[in-house]
Each structure stands twice: as C-alpha cells, then as structure tokens.
Amino acid sequence: MPVSVALIGADGSGKTTLFNALTRGRGADGVGMVDVPDERLQRLADAVKPKKVVAAQVRIADAPAGSKAQRIGAAREADVVLKVARCFGPEPDPAAELATLEVDLAITDLATVEKRLELVEREVRVGKKAGTEELEVLRRAREHLDAGRPLSELSLEPGQRALLAPLFPVSAKPAVVVANVDEALLPDGGAAAATLGPEAVVVPARLEAELVELDPAEAAEYRSSYGLRAGGLDAVAGAVWRAGGLITYFTAGEPEVRAWPCDRDSPAPVAAGVIHTDFEKHFIRAEVTSVDDLVAAGSMDALRAAGKLRVEGREYRVQDGDVVFFRVGR
C-alpha cells in the first residue's frame, strides 16, 4: 500500500513543476509512484545482499486541470495533502495564498457536511435513526467550517472523528506546506517563505525539476553549491511521514529487503497487515531487531541463532526503524 499524496494550491504556485521534480518526470496522467529515499534501507541491503531491494512508495497526484472544486475534490482520496505556496515571482504572498486555500477547503467540506446533516436530521425526525451523537458532531463541524476553519483544528474524540470519516473531509487531512522558492533565495527561501513559519518545507521546485535530469553526483554538487543538503524528495517525504503520523519498519531476508510504511503506534498484528491482510489475522509473534544490530550481524538468521532477536507479542507497538520478522500461522 503506497502512501498517497495529493498536490493542492493556487494556480501557478508550481504544483506541476514540483510534481515533475518529485516523480523525476516519470509521472503519467498526473500520477506518479516514487520510492522514498531511506539510507537505512541501503545499509540493510549492503549487509544482507538480498536479491531484491524495495523502498517504501508514495503515490503522488498532481492537481488536475479543471475547476477549483475538481482540484480540491481530487485531494479527498489522499492520505496527506501537499499545499504548495508560491514564494517566487512577482509580489509573492504565500501566507495569503494558503489562507485562501484553507477557506476553499472549508467551503468544500461545508457543502458535504450540510448535505449529510440534512439527511441525518430527516432520518432522526422519522425515527429511522437515533443519531444524536452524529448530529452533534455534524453541527459542530458545520459551525467550525462556516467560520472558515479546517476540520483538522476541531477537537474531536477519535470516535467522533470516525463519524466524519465517511465524508472524506479534505480539511481534516494531514497537510504539509511546501514553500516553492526561487533558487536565487536559497538556502533559506527568503522573506516570503519565512512568513509560512518553520514547519514549511522549502523546495525550489523549478531547480529540483532540472536537477532530476542530471546524474545523482552532479545533482548533489549543484545542491551543495546552493547550500542545500538533501534532495527535494527527501525533505518532502520526511515531512509527509511526520504529518501523516507514519513510521517505517523493515523486513530483511535473502530474497528481499524492504521498507514498509505503517501508522505510528500500530500494534504488531496491524503492522504485519501492511504486508498482507492475512498476516494480521494469523499473527503469532514478531521477532524484532534494529537496523544497526542487523547490519552488524549480517542476517536475521545469525541474530536468531545468537538468541538476539527480541520476541514481541500482539501488544507490541512497532517502532520506526525496527527490523521485523513476523511469525504467522495459517
């Protein structure tokens, strides 16, 4: 299951340019799959020497051409939205741009919530539904959205939030703000980008789109000449993982060394279910180590033989950087 990310933002903020940079120009029809760079995966692969190395994947969707409603609608399926703000060109005002976007997202969700509210109110009236909690949540959501605020800022219990989930509210989604800056303003991005605060990821999209044409060593040299340490994708992927509440764990066998994205604090059987739904059902236990210990030992088998794999049960929460072997029944 790749993590899905949708680009969203004002016209001309550089979404398509960023899309091309992130997908290395290999996207088709506005969708591209990209491998998430992770130095731990490479270290594991160097130690284990598997037949195959598989990175975690992100599915990136560019904002489609079309109306504002269509562009926003397309983001409703995503796990995380990337809000791209223009910090280049004439009179950039990315903070205002994002504020407008927030209101547009709220308006989109308001329409959905109002429609649902009407339906539920009618069903409660004719006695088809108790629905008092859903009604209360919908009314609170309406009030909040009506004030132009995103649902991500409405404080709800997990159970209440689940009542809104079937509506796919776009303003409730985890979001990453990308400050698309001119390369002349690197590395910090300049005054416009600074108005977005320290959480914004500074990416020179046009430069990055050009750098993906070069071989990696050359691109790295260019990057360092601009004072940039990592590629745009590294920074964006890191921010998507943080915003989306994701961790990465690894499996490391002879046939395949692989990175798996997983919700933070997932119990071991749920984490196993990322590999295969049957793994969740038939989970027996997890054998766990760290990247460093595995790299030192060379294989899971060597660690197992030395009694150095931790054995964890159903309650264990898989951690970022764990290397796991799941024992499953049938």
Enter the tokens of residue 163: 């009542």
Give the count of residues interacting with ligand GDP (CB under 6 A): 14
> CB under 5 to 8 A by kind: which of Mg ion, ligand GDP, none does 269 bind?
none
C-alpha R_g of the chain: 22
Beta carbon of residue 179, minimum distance to Mg ion (angstroms, whole number): 17
Q: Please choose which of Mg ion, ligand GDP, none residue 298 contacts, taking the beta carbon within 5 to 8 angstroms, the exact cut-off set by kind.
A: none
Q: Is 29 in the site for ligand GDP (CB under 6 A)?
A: no
- List Cα–Cα distances, 175 to 172, 223, 235, 261, in angstroms: 9, 26, 14, 17
Q: By CB under 5 A, which span of 13-21, 172-180, 219-227, 270-278 interacts with Mg ion?
A: 13-21
Nearest distance in Å: CB 125, ligand GDP: 45
Q: Of the candidates 4, 8, 14, 16, which one interacts with Mg ion according to CB under 5 A?
A: 16
Interface with ligand GDP, residue 16, by CB under 6 A: yes
- Whole-number Å distance between alpha carbons of 232 and 21: 8
Q: Pick the piece of the chain touching ligand GDP (CB under 6 A) from 13-21, 126-134, 236-244, 271-279.
A: 13-21
Pairing outcome for strands 283-290 and 310-312: antiparallel
Q: What percent helix, strand, coil does the chain show, rounded to 5?
A: 45, 20, 30
Within a 10 A sphere around the Cβ of 107, how many other Cβ atoms? 16
- Contact partner at residue 267 from Mg ion, ligand GDP, none, CB < 5 to 8 Å by partner kind: none
Among Mg ion, ligand GDP, none, the one that 182 touches (CB under a kind-dependent 5 to 8 A) is ligand GDP
Cβ proximity to ligand GDP, 15 vs 173, nearer residue: 15
Task: Report the residue number, 14 or 27, with the smaller CB distance to ligand GDP.
Answer: 14
Instruction: Residue 241: name its binding partner from ligand GDP, Mg ion, none (Cβ under 5 to 8 Å by kind).
Output: none
Question: Which pairing describes strands 175-181 and 57-61: parallel, antiparallel, or unpaired?
Answer: unpaired
Contact 222, 211 (CB under 8 A): yes
Q: Which stretch binds Mg ion (CB under 5 A): 12-20, 33-41, 180-188, 291-299?
A: 12-20
Least distance from C-beta 239 to ligand GDP, angstroms?
A: 17
Q: At what angle do helices 94-125 and 132-146 cross, to 10 degrees?
A: 150
Residue 20 near Mg ion by CB under 5 A: no
* Near ligand GDP by CB under 6 A: residue from 13, 108, 112, 266: 13
Distance from C-alpha of 18 to C-alpha of 135, rounded to nearest angstrom: 40
Cα distances (Å, whole numbers) of residue 117 to 123, 145, 154, 296, 303: 10, 13, 17, 58, 56
Q: Which is nearer to Mg ion, 15 or 223 (CB)?
A: 15
In the 3-class helix/strand/coil scheme, how is 275-301 assigned residue by residue?
HCHHHHHCEEEEEEEEHHHHHHHCCHH
The two structure tokens encoding residue 135: 């009604």
Looking at 15, 40, 83, 116, which residue binds ligand GDP (CB under 6 A)?
15
Residue 25 touching ligand GDP (CB under 6 A): no
Which one among 98, 200, 205, 286 touches ligand GDP, defined by CB under 6 A? 205
Phi-psi region of 81 (alpha: psi -120 to 50; beta: other; left: phi over 0): beta
Instruction: Rule CB under 6 A: say whether 182 interacts with ligand GDP.
Output: yes
Shortest distance, CB of residue 131 to ligand GDP, whole angstroms? 41
Binding site for ligand GDP (CB under 6 A): 9, 11-17, 88, 180, 182, 204-206
